[in-house]
Every structure is written in structure tokens, then in C-alpha cells.
Amino acid sequence: MPKGNPMNIMTRSVWRPVRFALLVCGMVGVSGMALAQSPPTGTTPGTTQATIPEKPRLAIRAIAATPAVTAQAKVDGTDNALMQIEQGADVQLLSAIEASRRFEIVARTDLPSIIKEQDLTQSGNVNILDPQAARAFQLAGARYVATLTISNYQEVVEKTELLNQFGTSKAERRTINIQAVLKIFDSTTGSLFRSTQVTLAESAVNEILPGVEQKGVKTNIVLGAVAKKLATEVANSIADSLAPARVIGYTLGQITFNRSAESGVSAGQIYEVFVPGSAMIDPDTGEQLGAEEVHVGWARVTDAGARFSTAQAIEDRGIDRGAMLRLRAQGLPAGIDPNAKATGSSASTPGAASTPASTNAPASTNAPAANASATNPPATAAPAATPPTASAPIRMAIFVKQRPASVAPEKVSVFEDLVSADSTGPGVQIIRREDVVNAVNRLAPAGPNAGTDLLGSEAVDRILSNQTSAVQLAAQMKADVILTASITALQRSKRRLDDPSTGTHTDVDQWTLVTTYGLIDGVTGASLAAGTVQSDYAKRDTPELKVEVDAIDELLRDAANRIGAAVRATVQDTRMRVASTPAADVTVKFNAVLADLSIPDVRTNESGEYVVGANNYNLQPMNVLVKIDGVAMGAAPSAFPLRPGLHRARFERPGLEPMEMMVNAREGLEISVPMQFTPEGRANWQRDAMFFNELKNGAVMRDAELIKVRAVADFLRQSNIRLDTTNVQNLNLGGQSIWWQLLK
């Protein structure tokens, strides 16, 4: 016990780091971890090799019907047919999955045979030194488990007699209807990954002519057809769930993707195209839920081949190699032109391989703080094992997250100040949004930094928060790495001791704060290092002494000190992976059009009359403000330099409804942005331009209609809207256009 009053002691525990390794491609085994620590044979440290992504392992359980379905089939006398379908589909399903070459299949239904071979090796009758002898206790695990349960089975037999020129023949039609449920489980968590309904019906007909004797039942062929179709549909569902179709080539609007006719692809099918977006993490459990899927286009299948298929892009918002395709059975949604054809091409390098980053980097720390418990020393750092290529200081943008509501929002800025101060050091330069982006009046509620009472600057800062991501904002701040610090959890416990026998009376109040941090690549958003810090603070009151202290500040100070030490140690470690070099900007062009609005051409004929022409002109609003990730870039129509990848684009203009979309930027991408009038603008348009709907091609316009045409021209000129005449080489070819006269 320390000297002094033994009844009034405040304690602070040391950091308790939690080490972890990120899962790459869903699965990383022990061998994969060993490879991260030592280079492969024949390579030298500091070099990397392009590796083929590990296939997901899949275990398929035997197909079985529910007990009720089996019992009913037995009553109906069709239990043998049901058994044939189960066993036939079971074998063909394994074959279909293996033929897709997208999974590593592990034995489950054939497991007894594997076990018997291993037992034979252990019996002493097999040379155990033979390198190809079976080894016990080394079966491969499976990340995913698929089960198929037949929930409904019906067999209908229809018989009739047909009278023809040879006499009376007998005909039989046998129909089998099956409903089944496919379930895919994540064996690591035991959670249901995907559930799909499978419904099919198959029929076979047999006719026995008069005088013909027949042995056997020809309609039994329907059993094999049902088994094959069931296996094929289930295999396709598994592949679409765990390994969706992907774009392997994109040239001049033609998409080539890795699916074949055998996997169910057919000409005319509509596919929606996605690209993976930001990682999704459950805020309560911290579990990684995969990545969101961002829509970037539509496509129609033009050819289903034996090894791959092709499709025509209908809409292109950034289609590129690696994008995912999902079948949309109901066809195109409303508002998409089915006759449209995109003409884009992929800018990705064919065959480019990516190497997943090793991200196991718990933090290290300096010496424990005062009053720290010596029984729980801090762990040393274990940063990612990839050598650096430069020693220049790393520029870090810092962002702080707040999870528990029990921590006041104003403490977020306090924590950011503390982490920034403790993380800054040799090789580390901290860039704060508060210093670089936000208005100065956000720094203090009073004094010279307070500014005026106007809230415009705060509104702009909030809009930026709403419309940009941390990675994009860090890019605008010219940061190499993003440091995220999260106030994750706060717990409080109270204990009281009343012991009359010793005269001891104490009240202990203890707080536990859990904070996490991560170093994120400012270009790719991938994690470079991460760690967890637990800080404890306790105070004890006695009848003689009462202590009042802001425990939150003490906890934040302790956590920031340890996070800062860990960040500095990680950066200085020679094994830390260097942040990626930003890719060169690409040029993306935006054009705005008024959706579903156009006006007919009006020209003069040889008699000087104004006649309705055959052309219809789309309307193109000018000076549309373009915001990329919350930052105003300029006015459309125009082209803008963007960093390759996903961006949030917003388009604004007085009189028009704002429009937002996600854009996957690549070189040469041109996007036509459909915009709409505000209700007031649409009402004005309908008032002045509704008469266009009644005009017919070749009709001579009357004076009253010409007055309305001039009114529409005035409306377009005042609204700064021009005609899109890209489909007309000469506006006055075939007679002078009235629009040229009114809008020139």
C-alpha cells in the first residue's frame, strides 16, 4: 500500500491491447499467416508477388426432403421416385459446383470414405512415410455450408386412351413438381448468409400403340430431368450468392462476363451492374458485413457462350472490369430507355493483379503512466510486415468517431486535440479538418475567432460532412494516411463496502473506456494498422474524504497518450507498409438534360409558312452546379478531373430539383444527368408548352401557335436552357428554323 491515507486512492490501469488479423477474401489459414511473416522461397525481402485469390471453401450437405414430405410420398407410393431425385441431384450438384471452378469443395456426404482411408493409414497396413498417404486430423474446414431441403413434392400421373386408325392406344403423362429451400450458412459465425427458394416442374409423356408390348416405364426419364434441373438451379444460386458474375472485359459498350449458357445465361436477359463500395461494419458488434453494392449500369445479354457471355451496356455510370452483374428477372425498371446503348470502355489494365495488404498491426506504447498497475504491462507493436520505400514524413488526416451516447459530443473535439498532440512526432505530420477546411468561427464560441452571428459557414461545414467520405476529404486535404480514433464504449460500475467489524466504509466508482484506432490508406481506404485500447479509472470515497473529478477527461487523456505512442511506433517501424501513391486524375464529363422533356422543330417552307419538322430537340440546362464529394467543382456541361473510383456527385440549379448519384470515375467517362423542373417550373412549362403535344409532323402553325412558340423561347432564354442539336448537322438545313431565329 502506498504511504498516506490508505482510504483515498485513485487508480488508472494500463493499456490492454487486443491483437487481431484481418480476414482476406473471407478466409486466412495458418499457412497464410506464415507467408506474411517470411517471404516465399526464391524471393527476397521487400518484393511482392501477384497471388491468385483463394477460392472460398464450400461444404454441401446431402439433399433431403422434410419428414412430412417423405411420409406423404410413402403414403402415395412415390417415395422411391423421391429418393432417386434426391440421390441423383446430390451427385450432379457436386459436379455442377466443381465445373464452375469458383469453389474449393470439401467432402461432407462422402466423408465416411475419407475417414475409412485415414483409418487404413493408421492401422499399420500402409506406409505412413508415404507422402501421399492419408493423414488424420487434417481435414480442410469450410467457411460456407450449403443445405438443400425439399419442402414440397408432388407427382401427378394422367392416363387416357386415344382412338386412332390402328385401334386404341394408351397415353400417360407424368408431372413432378418440387419446391425446395437452399440455405447457405457462414460456418464461422453460424449465421444464415443467404436463403433462396427453388421451384421447378417437369413432365414426360409415354404413348403405347395398339399391339405393342412395353416393359419398363418411359416416363421415368422425368426423374433424371428433375434431378439435373434441380442441381443446375441450385449450383447457379450458390455461385450467384458467393461468387457473383463479374465483368472481365468492357470495350465500346460490349460487356464480357464470366458466365456461360450452361449456368443459365440466355440472350435477352437483363443484368444490373454494381461495383463494391465502402465496407459495412456492424456498429454494435464490430462484425464486417461485406461491402455495399453501388449501382453503375444496366446491360442486356446478346450472346451466351460455352465459357463466357457477352452483353450490351444500356446505361453506364462507371462500368469497369471486376464489376458485379446480377440477373434482374423482372427486366428493366421504369424510366430506363430499353433501346439505349452505352459506348464506354474499361480503362483497367487487363490481367492486373492486386495483392491484399497485411493489416495485422496492434500498437506499441511507451512506459506506463503513473499509478499504472505493473501486473498488466503493455504489449509491443506488431505492425504489418511489408517493407517501406521512403522515409519522408507521413501526412495524417485525423477523424474521431463517437459511439456511446454517455460521452458528451463536445468531448469528441477534446479527444481529437489529445490524439493529435500525442501522435505528432518525427515522421508524423497531423492534418486536422478543423484547421484546414472548417471556418474559423467554429474554433471558439467567443473572442476574435467567433465571427458574426450568421450561420452560413457552419451550414457549409455540415454540408461537407453530409456529402463526402473521410477518404475523399483526406484526399482534398492532401493526406497520405487517415488516422481514425473511435470512442467505442464507456462502462461505469459502483461498489460499496460497509464492514462494522473493521470500521471500513468505502464507495468505489470505476469507469472503463474502450477506444480503438486505425491507420487507413488515404488512397484505397484499406487498413494499414489498427488496435484497441482499454483505459480504467477509479476513485474511492471514505467518510473522511470526498473526491470529485471528471473521469471522462482522465480516461480520454490516458487513451490518447497510448494511441499516440502506438501510432508513432507503428510509423517508425521499418515493417510498416507505405501508403499507396494516388492514381493520376481522370477526366469525367457531365451533361445535364431535362428528363422526359423535348420540343419539336419548327421550320419555314418555300411559301414562308412555319411547319412542324420531324426533329425533336432535348432540352439542356446550362450552368448546373456540380459538387463532387461536397466540394463545388464548376458548372455543367463541362469535364472535371477526378480521382479514379467512387464519388458522390450532386447537381444543383435554381428552378430544377437537385440530383444525386454515385459515380465510378474512369478516364473518358461521360454521364448524362437527368434533371427535372421544380413543381413551379414544371407548372410554367406545362402552361406554355402543353400545346406541342397536339402538333403533328408537317402541320402548318397558326398565328396563335406561333405566339406560344415565342413564349416558350422566352422561357428557355430566361431559364438559360438551350436545345440539344447534336443530332442535326445544320439547324437551317431544309428551311430556316424558328428556334435559330428566337434563341440565337
DSSP 171-206: EEEEEEEEEEEEEEEETTTTEEEEEEEEEEEEEEEE
Span 586-743 CATH architecture: Sandwich (2.60)
Pairing of strands 394-402, 428-432: parallel
Secondary structure letter of residue 42 according to DSSP: T
Residues 6+ apart with CB under 8 A from 71: none
Across the chain, which has 744 residues, the per-10-residue mean pLDDT values are: 39 37 31 31 39 76 91 92 90 83 78 74 76 78 90 89 70 90 88 88 79 70 89 86 89 92 88 84 70 88 93 93 89 89 77 37 34 35 42 79 86 89 83 55 44 44 50 68 89 82 72 91 77 88 76 93 90 64 84 85 79 81 87 88 85 90 89 89 78 74 80 82 69 66 70
What residues does each domain of the chain span? 11-40+357-437+477-572, 57-127+135-155+179-195+222-239, 243-327, 586-743
Rounded to the nearest 10 degrees, the angle between the axes of helix 79-99 and helix 67-76 is 130
End-to-end CA distance of the chain: 93
3-state secondary structure of 50: coil
What's the grid cell of residue 162? 386415344
Maximum separation of any 2 CA atoms in the chain, in Å? 120
CA distance 57 to 382: 29
CA distance 254 to 302: 9
Residues 6+ apart with CB under 8 A from 174: 155, 156, 157, 158, 203, 204, 205, 206, 219, 222
What's the grid cell of residue 38? 517470411
CB 506 within 8 A of CB 541: yes
Q: Is CATH 3.30.160 correct for 11-40+357-437+477-572? A: yes
Query: For position 363, what pLDDT does the model report?
Result: 36
Nearest to 475 by CA among 564, 395, 563: 395
CA distance 469 to 474: 8
Nearest to 417 by CA among 435, 438, 402, 403: 435
**Paired strand residues for 207:** 171
What's the grid cell of residue 40? 516465399
Q: Is 201 exposed, middle or buried (0-12, 13-18, 19+ CB in 10 A)?
A: middle
CA distance 356 to 51: 9
CA distance 53 to 41: 19
Span 243-327 CATH architecture: Beta Barrel (2.40)
- Going from the C-alpha of 556 to that of each of 429, 499, 513, 566, the distances in angstroms are 21, 34, 8, 15
Nearest to 437 by CA among 460, 453, 409, 471: 460
Residues 6+ apart with CB under 8 A from 132: none
CB 593 within 8 A of CB 724: yes
Query: For position 501, what pLDDT does the model report?
Result: 57
Query: For position 373, what pLDDT does the model report?
Result: 34
Cis omega (within 30 of 0) for bond into 637: yes
Query: For position 309, what pLDDT does the model report?
Result: 93
What's the grid cell of residue 292? 455495399
Annotate 277-346 with DSSP letters as a single string.
EEEEE-TTT--EEEEEEEEEEEEEEEEE-SS-EEEEEEEESS--TT-EEEE-TT-SPTTS-TT-------
What's the grid cell of residue 523? 488512397
**Paired strand residues for 301:** 311
CA distance 559 to 612: 75
Backbone phi, then psi, for 393, in 5-degree steps? -60, 145
CA distance 24 to 51: 12
Query: For position 601, what pLDDT does the model report?
Result: 81
**DSSP H or E segment with residue 364:** none
